[in-house]
């Protein structure tokens, strides 16, 4: 099973304990029951997209008790979550829906949902293997997906011989095409998140060598945007970005400190430059995903030492939001969030239940 990076990091850095948080139950956030497919040993939701408050698709992965890992897709109809017929492939990390009958999901490849079933969309591959990590669709025939690909050196596809380079692909309604993307270095470059406010305005974020990375699509080509990093830090990554307009974007991620571990990071694009936003720093935490339905309204989700982490931007400041605890659970994380309006959000992730099994998690906000 392809367990989320957040969940893996949490297992490595947190001591097992109760998921009951010191934070009080949020009046606006509540846990939603999510089905877990029968015959699987673990499940997780990695990404979510809501075309309306009553219409969301969550995607992720499962691990069969006696079979290989595979993708997971679940649907929210305003009343309950239900499993969809599983798409083919290995796992899914990102999804974007323009309507209840039009969604695109990505993982190693791309998949389309027509309201009834998932189907494989052929995607071109670069180098010695490529993967798509996130996707943003502005119309049925207009999607941009980003990720990375490997180039093996001297016939060796082992560490120190592999160059990792950025990847962007464009869906025009009938096929995917690779778009050339710049790389800040020659060997370690990834794009983890993308957001498009229109077909000619997309922003993708990720990381280079120990530095955050942001790239901009203007309808003709991609270009690197200078991005600041916290002073004196170790590796810095941006995992997700949300652009409510062509001139306003918010990106989230983390940086590492030898003294305190993982520290959440938020940066803002104002149409001219990126700047770091002051953000509450919980103990050992990461922001995995962000959704901004308006310039002055963003929700970012991730995890910290207390469990699932939710932070809110009101146009002036970020603040930590109380999150409900999952009864009897340990190690809860949130990996994706989608807010179709300022008063409605869905967040997804995973937690370990009292039996020690990882299962899918969904939470909703109604403001």
Residue located via tokens 């794009």: 191
Number of structural domains (the chain) is 1
Contact 197, 243 (CB under 8 A): yes
DSSP string, 43-64: EEEEEEEEEETTEEEEEEEEEE
pLDDT for res 234: 78
The model's confidence at residue 17, banded by pLDDT at 50, 70 and 90, is very low
Q: What percentage of the chain carries pLDDT values higher than 70?
A: 92
pLDDT, tens only, 238-271: 999 999 999 999 999 999 877 778 999 999 999 9
pLDDT, tens only, 114-134: 999 999 999 998 888 899 999
pLDDT for res 156: 75
Q: Is 66 or 22 the better-scoring residue by pLDDT? A: 66
Residue 207 predicted with pLDDT over 90? yes
pLDDT for res 232: 78
Residue 346 predicted with pLDDT over 70? yes
Residue 82 predicted with pLDDT over 70? yes
The model's confidence at residue 306, banded by pLDDT at 50, 70 and 90, is confident
pLDDT for res 18: 31
The residue-averaged pLDDT of 107-117 equals 94
For the ranges 16-25, 72-81, 95-104, the lowest mean pLDDT is seen at 16-25
CA distance 27 to 22: 15
Q: Is 220 or 210 the better-scoring residue by pLDDT? A: 220
Q: How far, rounded to the nearest angstrom, does the alpha carbon of residue 182 sit from its chain's CA centroid?
A: 22
Range of the domain at 215: 5-351+360-366
* Pairing assessment for the beta strands 130-139 and 358-366 based on DSSP bridges: unpaired
CA distance 322 to 320: 7
E strands, 53-129, where?
55-64, 69-76, 81-83, 94-99, 102-106, 110-113, 118-121
Residue located via tokens 């509450």: 280
* Pairing assessment for the beta strands 212-217 and 201-207 based on DSSP bridges: antiparallel
Measured on CA atoms in the order 214, 264, 285, 55, is the torsion positive or negative? negative
Residue 41 predicted with pLDDT over 60? yes
The residue-averaged pLDDT of 187-213 equals 95
pLDDT for res 15: 31
Instruction: Supply 43's token pair.
Output: 């499940």
pLDDT for res 259: 72
Q: Which of 329, 299, 323, 303 is nearest to 312 (CA)?
A: 299
pLDDT for res 258: 72
The values of phi and psi at residue 10, to 5°, are -65, -40
Residue 336 predicted with pLDDT over 60? yes
pTM of the model: 0.91
pLDDT for res 69: 81
Q: Is 366 or 24 the better-scoring residue by pLDDT? A: 366
For the ranges 109-113, 183-187, 358-362, the lowest mean pLDDT is seen at 183-187
CA distance 279 to 259: 18
Residue 22 predicted with pLDDT over 50? no
Instruction: Supply 255's token pair.
Output: 């940086």
> CATH number, domain at 264?
2.130.10.10
pLDDT, tens only, 271-281: 999 999 999 98
The residue-averaged pLDDT of 106-112 equals 94
The model's confidence at residue 10, banded by pLDDT at 50, 70 and 90, is very low
Q: What is the mean pLDDT of the chain?
A: 89
pLDDT for res 267: 98
CA distance 185 to 4: 26
């Amino acid at each position: 099973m392809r367990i989320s990076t957040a969940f893996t990091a949490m297992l490595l850095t947190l001591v097992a304990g109760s998921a009951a948080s010191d934070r009080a139950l949020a009046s606006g956030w509540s846990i939603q029951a999510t089905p877990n497919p029968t015959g699987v040993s673990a499940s997780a939701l990695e990404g979510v997209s809501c075309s309306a408050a009553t219409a969301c698709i969550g995607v992720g992965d499962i691990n069969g008790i006696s079979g290989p890992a595979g993708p997971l897709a679940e649907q929210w109809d305003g009343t309950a979550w239900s499993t969809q017929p599983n798409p083919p492939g290995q796992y899914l990390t990102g999804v974007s829906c323009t309507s209840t009958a039009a969604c695109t999901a990505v993982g190693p490849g791309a998949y389309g949902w027509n309201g009834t079933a998932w189907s494989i969309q052929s995607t071109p591959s670069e180098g010695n293997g490529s993967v798509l990590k996130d996707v943003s669709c502005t119309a049925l025939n207009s999607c941009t997906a980003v990720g990375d690909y490997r180039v093996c050196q001297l016939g060796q596809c082992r560490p120190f011989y592999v160059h990792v380079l950025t990847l962007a692909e464009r869906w025009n309604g009938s096929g995917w095409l690779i778009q050339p993307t710049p790389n800040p270095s020659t060997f370690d470059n990834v794009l983890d998140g993308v957001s498009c406010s229109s077909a000619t305005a997309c922003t993708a974020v990720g990381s280079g060598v120990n530095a955050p990375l942001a790239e901009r699509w203007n309808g003709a080509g991609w270009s690197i945007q200078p991005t600041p990093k916290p002073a004196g830090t170790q590796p810095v990554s941006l995992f997700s970005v949300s652009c409510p307009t062509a001139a306003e974007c918010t990106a989230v991620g983390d940086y590492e400190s030898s003294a305190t571990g993982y520290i959440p990071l938020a940066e803002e694009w104002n149409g001219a430059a990126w700047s770091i936003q002051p953000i509450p720093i919980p103990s050992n935490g990461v922001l995995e995903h962000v959704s901004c339905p308006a310039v002055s309204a963003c929700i970012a989700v991730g995890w910290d030492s207390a469990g699932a982490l939710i932070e809110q931007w009101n146009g002036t400041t970020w603040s930590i939001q109380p999150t409900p605890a999952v009864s009897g659970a340990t190690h809860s994380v949130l990996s994706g969030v989608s807010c179709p309006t300022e008063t409605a959000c869905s967040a997804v992730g995973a937690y370990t239940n009292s039996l020690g099994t990882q299962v899918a998690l969904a939470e909703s906000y109604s403001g």
